[in-house]
């Protein structure tokens, strides 16, 4: 199981890193913005975390003779998700420190401008400014930033692990072809 978890978790982590660093030119030329970046980010999470499904299926088909319980599948999927999430958070630390050390300043400005442009009251804008100031302070601490980054990805990984476990516990679901 360890080999499956590490292999598929590291593949997912590599997909995260490639997407993150590959999108840099799009951020720099303005093609990608905070408006569409969230969609791109969550889409890349689902694509990378599809490795959870394939890892659980590989474990079921190659190590358990095509049968896996929901609990076993959830365990394998969750461990793959954890390795992938660590890869994501480590990649973000490199990205943040090497490419986008001003990320929080830009993100805070985006949130404040979005509130102003939407016609928010001055009190609501001031509340957002205060929240952004607090978040920027928290983000300066690498351990808190790492934890915040893990908290971004782990819920998606757990959801995909649950879905994969529910589907793959059925022997007939995408059963591997056995030679006749």
Domain interval for residue 67: 2-100+150-168
The verdict on residue 117 lying in a domain is: no
CA distance 50 to 48: 5
- Cβ neighbours for 125, distance < 8 A, ≥ 6 positions apart: 112, 115, 116
Burial of 117 (0-12, 13-18, 19+ CB in 10 A): exposed
Q: What's the structural domain count of the chain?
A: 1
Distance of CA 54 to the CA centre of its chain: 17
Residue 175 lies in a domain: no
Find the DSSP H helices in 99-174: 103-117, 122-139, 142-168
Is residue 140 assigned to a domain?
Answer: no
The C-alpha atoms of residue 34 and residue 26 are separated, in whole angstroms, by 11
Span 129-158, average pLDDT: 95
pLDDT-derived band at 174, boundaries 50, 70, 90: confident
| 86 in a structural domain | yes
CA distance 30 to 16: 21
Give the integer Cα–Cα distance in Å for 100 and 94.
9
User: Mean pLDDT score of the chain, rounded to an integer?
Assistant: 92
pLDDT higher than 90, residue 144: yes
Query: Per the domain annotation, does 126 fall within a domain?
Result: no
Q: Is residue 138 part of a domain?
A: no
pTM: 0.87
Q: Is the pLDDT of residue 180 over 50?
A: no
Instruction: Kindly report, residue by residue over 118-129, the tens digit of the pLDDT.
Output: 998 999 999 999
């Amino acid at each position: 199981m360890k080999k499956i978890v590490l292999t598929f978790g590291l593949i997912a982590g590599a997909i995260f890193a490639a997407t993150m660093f590959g999108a840099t030119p799009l951020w720099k030329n303005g093609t990608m913005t905070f408006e569409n970046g969230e969609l791109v980010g969550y889409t890349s999470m689902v694509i990378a975390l599809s490795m959870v499904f394939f890892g659980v299926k590989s474990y079921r088909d190659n190590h358990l003779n095509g049968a896996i319980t929901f609990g076993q599948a959830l365990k394998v999927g969750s461990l793959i998700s954890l390795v992938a999430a660590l890869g994501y958070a480590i990649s973000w630390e490199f990205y943040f420190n090497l490419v986008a050390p001003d990320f929080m300043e830009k993100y805070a400005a985006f949130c404040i401008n979005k509130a102003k442009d939407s016609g928010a009251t001055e009190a609501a804008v001031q509340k957002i400014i205060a929240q952004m100031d607090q978040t920027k302070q928290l983000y300066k601490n690498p351990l808190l930033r790492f934890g915040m980054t893990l908290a971004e990805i782990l819920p998606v990984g757990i959801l995909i692990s649950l879905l994969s476990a529910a589907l793959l516990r059925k022997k007939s679901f995408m059963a591997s072809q056995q030679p006749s």
